[in-house]
Amino acid sequence: MDYDTQERTGEKKGLDAAGETNRERPSLSLIESVLLIDDNPDIVALYSRMVTDCGYAVMTAMNSQESLDALNKKTPDLILLDILMKPEDGWKILKKIRAYPKMSSTPVVMLTAKMPTTREILQYSDSIDDYIMKPVTRAGMCDALKRIDAYRSEISDQLARAREHGVVSEVLEEYRALTRKKMVLRTMRTYQYGIEEDFREYMKQYPDQETMHCEDMLSEIDKRMKELKPYFE
């Protein structure tokens, strides 16, 4: 499947059946275009329509090479990436995407039916920005994209204010990375273990080293963010 940008006027502008604007993305959006990567043509058709209905322009790719070709043509503002793909899975494609210098800060969201393992949480939480479990409804898709968009806008504003007050770039980038990793760790853990009370009960019955390491990472992130908080007040 070739790189495909949906250019039809109604889709690109998010028009409903009556021809009226149906944009749902935030008015101060940092995200306008989304690259959807999935090897199932039916899923691509369904979710690309959802993304369009949420008010975002969508591009599609169905494998590693198409993904790289798409990135060479246009840099998206966000990537939705499936995991269970062949011959290369989403984690391998993610590694190739992050190897592109211009893609180092572009948000990548895993959109997949695969429940995250603790090992994946530990290995990839530095490289992704969110994790959405399939199946997802149109409302769920819009809510997820708006949440990510609003989060990035909030962090961007915090960093801009801190920069105006003379905070050095190293601190700014560390804070950005920590906030992203904290959100991803908590989201992936919630999918795996459920609500906080369920997780605590699980840990009492089935303590394991990898899960404890994940909790230690969250504790260290919280500790470091408290140390950095004065820079952003």
CATH number at residue 22: 3.40.50.2300
Place of tokens 């290995």: 123
Q: Please, are residues 54 and 141 in contact by the beta-carbon 8 Å criterion?
A: yes
CA dist., res. 196 & res. 137, Å (int):
24
pLDDT tens, position by position, 139-177: 999 998 998 888 888 888 888 888 888 888 888 888 888
- Sheet with strand 130-133: strands edge to edge: 4-5, 57-61, 33-37, 78-81, 108-112, 130-133
Domain residues for the domain of 146 are: 4-232
Q: Please, are residues 78 and 35 in contact by the beta-carbon 8 Å criterion?
A: yes
pLDDT tens, position by position, 103-124: 888 899 999 888 877 788 778 8
Question: Which of 184, 181, 180 lies closest to 158, judged by CA?
Answer: 180
Q: How many domains does the chain fold into?
A: 1
Place of tokens 């560390």: 174
Question: Both tokens of residue 43?
Answer: 């899923």
CA dist., res. 151 & res. 71, Å (int):
24
Q: How many CA atoms lie within 13 A of 118 on its CB side?
A: 14
- According to DSSP, the residues that pair with 57 across neighbouring strands are 33
- Per-10-residue mean pLDDT, the chain, length 233: 37 35 55 95 96 95 95 93 94 92 86 82 85 90 89 82 85 85 78 58 62 80 89 77
